[in-house]
Structure 1
């Protein structure tokens, strides 16, 4: 078995960093950063599923009336709920007895080696959760997160999301606009169309996310005029342009997760990041001994993304 002292070093080092890792995961993704800023990164303590309450209809008893006319007092069914499965992720930090006891003798040297491996594990966890924000939930046999490709798909008329069938319930369908060429000449009218489709009075999209091609098309369309950036988003480190006061954030380039030829218009009041409150980038409670002279510690995450209003979300994509 590995040295108890080595096990203690691995465990305490990871525990000291777990809170920082959870915080950095949200900062690593523009959508998660926006949700955190709005209070929509909401940890959940448990339950069979993640339940998201939905207000899907207006009260049907409203009426104009006169004098002694009878009023409609019948109950209205206006609420339902969507249920999202828990998804789990893990990354392992390992150190062998040879590395920990012999090659890196001394506590400081062990921590230095661990530090490099933990940073790599953190980077791995951050990148995969960030990519999961765009996933359709079918990867790894359906074990991955359900991100924007599930919540705001190109075809919103099919599929079941959160237990609600979109073929049956029109209120659970997002908006979608196709752009056959996605060039600087075509993209702004399509963006305007999508923005209006996703707006309901003062309820309007507040975050746009684009891949390389969509961002470039919009950027080039602004060449004749001064480009405007959203100061709040820019100060957070995100490259962005502005569209009717809404930041359009670039999430392409190396390791970018936004699907090709795609731009999302999101109303983040109704999108949630729901990590488990006790399993949010934390090391396992115990270090498990295996049939090797090594110490293995797992960093665990559980949670998912949820949605409470689909019709105010939109996607612009190249057909």
Structure 2
């Protein structure tokens, strides 16, 4: 028994929608630590014309002074806030089921719209269609998450429609350019900490300086993300001090973590290895001094935010000259910060 084209479209979109909603992006493994962290704290993206907005305090506008007796007091009208505007963008992907491919698998599609609801698949045909849809949906999900994760790392310049990502919000040129509509060249508060070409012997001191700078401007970082080269350099300068039970033999492992967790810590925060750094190095081929594998990001997750409006699944109208059924997956999203100076990035030499 064949299946009608409208019924196939309905089944495909319903199955994909159910699949994606029951397997949300925030359930991915630790191999993608940045998107896992962002999804774990994500907010709903509210309808807006072009931007997701963060209100930032630029100054206290203080009029503090000393006074005694009848000394005249002065007053001022305070304007302390500015708006940082981050564009939301649309991430999309899709799939199509070729009717000839389905026919070769044992399912015939009836193109007659009037046959909707009148044709019922045999049990074996249902199994075939289920298996085909499952494979297509799994591949769609994995590919979508993979690409979204990469783009959330990048600076948003790869495309005019790309989302602004980590490389722009926590920049290697923090005093250059406009981010979120605020000019970092003139607004000194709108700059993250950066140190580049840091020699291995200077890593600890530089990390201390970065940490203090972050604390001064919004609190201690609670998420440290680094590439392989940086992690290896950091591990090489660690020293162990053991004062208790000194007479007993010790087994020392400087990397006792699992998966992307390195087991290496700084100020009590574990350094997380990001395998995507090497992927972006291959994609962007940056100069040696800017390699992602050499980077370490100090991130305060209270001040780095991700928003989306949940995935939308729908059935586009197929072209008149193609015999296939289409399903599309869209996601409006934005990545933003309300305190750039609460973050830091260090690049090892």
Query: Which TM-score tier does this pair reach, normalised by the shorter chain?
Result: 0.7 to 0.9
Which of 187, 197, 200 does residue 169 from structure 1 map onto? 187
User: Aligned residue for 1:196?
Assistant: 212
Q: Per-residue CA shift, 1:120-169, capped at 9, x if unaligned?
A: 111111111111221111002x2222111111111111111111111111
Task: For residue 25 of structure 1, report the CA deviation from its aligned partner.
Answer: 5.9
User: Aligned residue for 1:46?
Assistant: 47
Equivalent pair of 2:13/2:327 in contact (CA under 8 Å):
yes
Change (3 A) 1:254 1:171: closer
Work out which of the two has the higher radius of gyration on C-alpha atoms and give 1 or 2.
2
Equivalent pair of 2:217/2:342 in contact (CA under 8 Å):
no
Which of 83, 86, 89 does residue 87 from structure 1 map onto? 89
Does residue 130 in structure 1 map to residue 130 in structure 2? no
**Structure 2: how far apart are the matches of 1:316 and 1:194?**
8
Q: Secondary structure at the match of 1:292?
A: coil
Taking only aligned residues, the RMSD between alpha carbons, in angstroms, comes to 2.8
Does residue 262 in structure 1 map to residue 285 in structure 2? no
**Structure 1: how far apart are the matches of 2:90 and 2:209?**
37
Q: Where does 1:216-227 land on structure 2 (aligned, <5 Å)?
A: 216-222=232-238, 224=240
Task: For residue 70 of structure 1, report the CA deviation from its aligned partner.
Answer: 5.3
Equivalent pair of 2:224/2:271 in contact (CA under 8 Å):
yes
Equivalent pair of 1:25/1:130 in contact (CA under 8 Å):
no
Equivalent pair of 1:61/1:76 in contact (CA under 8 Å):
no
Task: For residue 67 of structure 1, report the CA deviation from its aligned partner.
Answer: 5.9
Task: For residue 95 of structure 1, report the CA deviation from its aligned partner.
Answer: 0.8
Q: Where does 1:1-319 land on structure 2 (aligned, <5 Å)?
A: 3-19=5-21, 20-24=23-27, 29-37=32-40, 39=41, 41-48=42-49, 49-66=51-68, 71-105=73-107, 106-140=125-159, 142-181=160-199, 183=200, 185-200=201-216, 203-222=219-238, 224=240, 238-240=260-262, 241-252=264-275, 256-257=279-280, 259-275=292-308, 277=309, 280-284=310-314, 286-290=315-319, 291-318=321-348
The TM-score normalised by the length of structure 2 is 0.79
Equivalent pair of 1:35/1:273 in contact (CA under 8 Å):
yes
Q: Secondary structure at the match of 1:83?
A: strand
Task: For residue 205 of structure 1, report the CA deviation from its aligned partner.
Answer: 1.1
Change (3 A) 1:64 1:271: farther
**Structure 1: how far apart are the matches of 2:102 and 2:12?**
10
The TM-score normalised by the length of structure 1 is 0.85
